[in-house]
Structures are given as C-alpha cells and as structure tokens.
Chain A
Amino acid sequence: MEYVGHVLVFVAIYVILAVSLDLLAGHTGMLSVAPAAFYGLGAYTSALLTVEAGASFLVALLAGMIVAGVLSLAVSLPSLRLVDEYFVIATFALQIVLFSLFNNWVSLTGGPMGIPGIPPPAIFGIRVTSRAGFLVMASLCAGLAYTVVWRLSTGPFGRALHAIREDEVFAKAAGKDTVRLKITAFAISVALAAMAGSLYAHYISYIDPSSFTVMESILIISMVILGGAGSLWGPLIGAIALVTLPEALRFLGLPSSVAANLRQVVYGALLLLVMLLRPRGLVGKYAFGQ
C-alpha cells in the first residue's frame, strides 16, 4: 500500500504539471518547452526558503508560484509579440539556463549535490508527515489546479484563448488583446507548475538538478499530447498513463541504468507515434500543431 500511495502522489504532482501545460499548449496553442524549469524553480525557491530562511510551507509555496510568475514575464513580454517559434526558442533557452544555474550555482543551490533535509509541509501547525496525509494534500492541490484550468478554459477567458489558438489575427481583429491574454495564460500556467515543484520538494525532502531537465519537460509535453491537448480529461489520462507505465516496466527487472534510458525511448517513441498517427491524442479535441 505504501508503494501504491507513493505512485499516487506522483500521479497527483504530474496531473498538476500536465493540466497547467495544457492551458498553454492545448487551449492557447503555444508550446512551452520549459515546464520542468518552472517546476524546478518552484521546488528550489520553496526548498531554499524553508531550509535557509526557515519560512513556513505555505509562504514558501506561494513565493515559489510568485517567483515563477514573475520570471515568466521575462520570457513572455519580449517573445510573445513575435511568431510562435520565438516563444519556443525563449522557453527552450530558459529551460537550459535554469538547469545550468541549478547545476552550477553551487553556493546557492548546492549544484549537483542538491538540497537535502527539506522539512515536511506544515499547514497552520498541522505537520503532514504520513504518506496518506501527503496524498490527500497533493490530491487537493491537483484538484485545485484542475478546477482553475477548467474554470478558466470554459469561461470567456477560455473562449478568447481558443480564438487565439484557431486564428490569432482574427482574435485581434475581434478586439481581443491577444498578447496580454497569452502573457496571462503563461503566468498562470507556470505558477501552477511551480506549485507542483514545491509539493515535490517537500514530499521527497531532497532535490537535485537531475529532476528538472529538458527530458522532464518533454515528458510533461508527452503527457498532454498523448492524452489529448485542449481537453480537460486528456492531460489527466496522459499523466496517469505515463506515471504508471514505467512502474509497470519496473517489474520487467531491467538494470536501473538501462531502464531509465529505455523509459525515455518509450516516451519519445510514444510522442512520435501520437504526433504521426493520432495528433488529437487519446481523448483530445484539438490536434496540436495543425
């Protein structure tokens, strides 16, 4: 049961990441290659604030979300006025740079050694130490992220995002401030990803840069595309499938060095096949990149 609980916590964390990316990729039609960078930013901000500055969990969580949201402006303000490729380039650059800072700014982040001893979350004096307790908390956060994206994507804000996705020039002609809408969507999306990072840091109690690589970003993208971009169920299904799939591979008993690479070959091949054969994903309505 402990093991199942552990997997379920990860499902909840990745549901947050996938749903938050879907707000961007699925509903707005913009591809960010940096979800893992903001995930890591949330994790590092939260970990540093609690370990070094002794801040409480909720403060650290919110701070992580705010830092991510502010940094997202640095990417979106210059790049979103231009064509889609520039946004991809800017997020890609951010992904590489943040990883490189996590890895090389040793005096702050501990470099490859990471940050150990992150305390378990405590909310208003209640310390969440058991796995069951943490699962409840992670599920609540996943529910919150899901609700936020659901409410946003079905309301007028979501309709405007869909209009941008289908035809940006038309949306502009209809009087929508498309740049501002895209900047807002990006900021909300990365704040949710940072929330997932903070949860991860306090759950595992140790973080190092290897959890926040480009490969991690591509995994999150695969979840959205596999499940189906632009639908609420899609990223949920994608996250569940891609978190549980490697757990199933674990029972094949491969040596761990081979297993990690093999898993990523499977992710990549799945993404490739879905893009080639069924770009709408399993349950999606919107075929990404058409």
Chain B
Amino acid sequence: MQYLVNALVAGLSYVLVGIGLGLVLRVCGFLHMAHGILYTVGAYAAYVGVRFAGLSGVGSVILAVAATGLLGIVLQRFVYQGLQRVRGSGLGLLLVSLAVYVVCQNLLSLFFGDETKIVDMEDSIRVRTIVGARITTLQLGALSVTCVLCAGWLILLTYSALGRQIRAVASDRELAGICGVPAERIALCSAGLAAMLAGAGGCFVALDTGLSPTMGMRVMMMGLVALVVGGVDGWAGVMVGAIALALGQQGASVLLGSQWQDAFAFVLLLVCLLVRPQGVFGRSVRKVTV
C-alpha cells in the first residue's frame, strides 16, 4: 500500500509534465526540450512564495502556476514563434528549446545556488494513515488537485470551444488556419496551459520533498516516456502511461534496487518503440512522409 502511494505521488509529476509535452508537440509541432525548466521554475516560484513572500501553501501554488504560465507564453511568443515563421523545422526548434533549457537552468543556479533546498512547511503538514499507508495532507492535496486538473483538462478539450480549436490545430494546422482558427494564438494558449500544468507539478514536489535547479530534466524524460507509452496522438493515454511508469519504477526499485528505477523507464520506452510504437492507446504512428 505504501508503495502504491509512493508511486502515485511520483506519477503525478509525470502526468502533469507528460500532458504538456504532448500538447506542445501536437499543437506547436516540436518537442519542447525546455519543458523540464518550467517544472523547475514552478518549484522555485513556490519556494520564493513560501520563503520570502510569506504565502501559504495554496497561495504559493497559485503564484507558481501563474509564473510558469507567463514564462511558457513568453518563450513561445518571442523565441519559438519568431523562429517558426522564418523556418519551420521541428528539429531546429527542439535544439533552440534545449539551449533555452541550459540558459534558464544555469540562471536559476546562479540566483539560488546549486544545492537542494527544502521548503519548511511543517506546521501545515500532518501525516495520516490510510489503509496502512502513510500519506501527508500535502500529498493528498496534490493528488486530488492533479486528478481534478486531469479531468478538467479532458473536459476542456472535449467540450469547450478552445478545446475544439486546440484539437483542430493539433490534427491539421493548415486546414485549421483556412477554417478561421487563429493557429498561432491557439499555439500560444497551449504553450501557456502546458507550462501551467508543468509548474503545478513542480511546485507540488517542491513543497513535498524539496527542489534543486536540475530537478526538471529527469522528470521531463519520465514525462516523455509516459507520453510515448501512452500514445502521442491520444489525450488520455499519457495519464495511464505515467501511472504505469511510476508503478513499474516503484516495483523495479523494490525488487532490484533503487538504481534500476530509471533504467526501468528506459527499457519500457525501448520495448514500447519495438512492439507498439504508436503507444498502448495510440492509433497511428508518426512516420516519415513526403
């Protein structure tokens, strides 16, 4: 039972990062390698909020989400879209976002230092025991907020006008543009939404266990693995993929030793690419086309 709780808590970051990665990949058309930094920025925003601005846990989450959403929109508008208009290749943008990651991560290191920090919130955290597993109120809150966010995200996507436009741009950008969907504005919205989800994930982890400038890279890779396993062209698959990945990692670390958790993710990715490259819930595989 304790393992299950640990896996779910780890999985919530993967879900939030994975959804955003998939959204940017499909709507903006490139793999956003700087997505991990949005997660880290969310963590640091929460840290600043609690430590220096004296905000409560909830207040700092709101601050973190707002800050990362803004950063995501600024990056998309002033860095990626500028380049995308001149020349539109996905690999070029991927490389640019990698450079953005390096710059941002090291700026964070310069300002806050390289060491791992802990947000001290003891007074508001109680440990509860639910069917034999220890869980803090914070973890419980983060899990329920994540569930609400996932459900809200699916509802937004399926039923709202914005969701319809996002799906239109994701499935065919040019055609959506012809039909009057403002593709660039939708891309901007998506980048902002994706960033906010990543930021929320980052600040939950910061409040729960701690934060360091390099925390985003590994989580981003897990989000990618969850995305590929769940299926890049589906919207709900990544959630299942993330939970499966987190459970598998927990299992691997219990059975084989904790150094094998990340290796498990890698093996899962390779097996998935070999056996079912479209993902467990995906329908079609992205192939080289003319």
A interface residues (Cβ-Cβ under 8 A, vs B): 29, 31, 33, 74-75, 77-79, 81-86, 88-90, 92-94, 96-97, 100-101, 104-106, 168-169, 214-215, 218, 221-222, 225, 257-258, 261-262, 264-265, 267-269, 271-272, 275-276, 279, 287-290
Contact = CB atoms under 8 A, between A and B. Distances in A.
A93 B224 contact: yes
A287 B83 CA distance: 13
Contacts of A289: 89-95
Contacts of B259: 100-101, 104-106
SS of A interface (majority): helix
A269 B92 contact: no
B82 A83 contact: no
Contact of A290 (B31, B92, B102): B92
A90 B110 contact: no
A96 B99 contact: no
Given A90-B273, A93-B265, A169-B289, A215 B102 contact: yes
A276 B228 CA distance: 29
B106 A268 contact: yes
A-B interface, 5 closest residue pairs, ranked by CB to CB distance from nearest = A289-B92, A268-B102, A104-B259, A78-B273, A289-B91
Given A82-B277, A92-B33, 7 more contacts: A83-B286, A85-B90, A89-B225, A101-B259, A221-B95, A275-B83, A287-B87
Interface in B63-110: 79, 82-83, 87, 89-96, 98-103, 105-107, 109-110
> For chain B, which range describes its interface: under 10, 10 to 19, 20 to 34, or 35 or more residues?
35 or more
SS of B interface (majority): helix
B218 A84 contact: no
Contacts of B107: 261, 265
28 contacts: A78-B274, A81-B277, A83-B287, A86-B228, A86-B277, A86-B286, A89-B31, A93-B225, A93-B269, A96-B217, A97-B262, A97-B265, A218-B101, A225-B95, A257-B113, A261-B107, A261-B109, A262-B106, A265-B102, A265-B103, A268-B100, A268-B102, A279-B87, A279-B92, A289-B90, A289-B95, A290-B89, A290-B92
A258 B111 CA distance: 10
B288 A169 contact: yes
Contacts of A88: 31, 91, 94
Nearest to B278: A82
Nearest to B31: A85
B82 A276 contact: yes
B94 A31 contact: yes
Nearest to B263: A97
B99 A271 contact: yes
B273 A79 contact: yes
A168 B114 CA distance: 43
A288 B103 contact: no
Interface string B257-290: 0110111011001100110010000000111111
B217 to A, nearest CB: 6
A90 B96 contact: no
Contacts of A267: 102
A287 B87 CA distance: 11
B266 A94 contact: yes
A96 to B, nearest CB: 4
Given A74-B270, A100-B263, A265-B110, A271 B288 contact: no
Contact of A82 (B91, B105, B287): B287
B99 A275 contact: yes
Given A96-B221, A262-B110, A290-B87, A271 B102 contact: yes
A276 B83 contact: yes
Interface in B233-274: 258-259, 261-263, 265-266, 269-270, 273-274
A82 B279 CA distance: 13
Interface in B195-240: 217-218, 221, 224-225, 228
B49 to A, nearest CB: 23
A206 to B, nearest CB: 21
Contacts of B110: 258, 261-262, 265
A106 B258 CA distance: 11
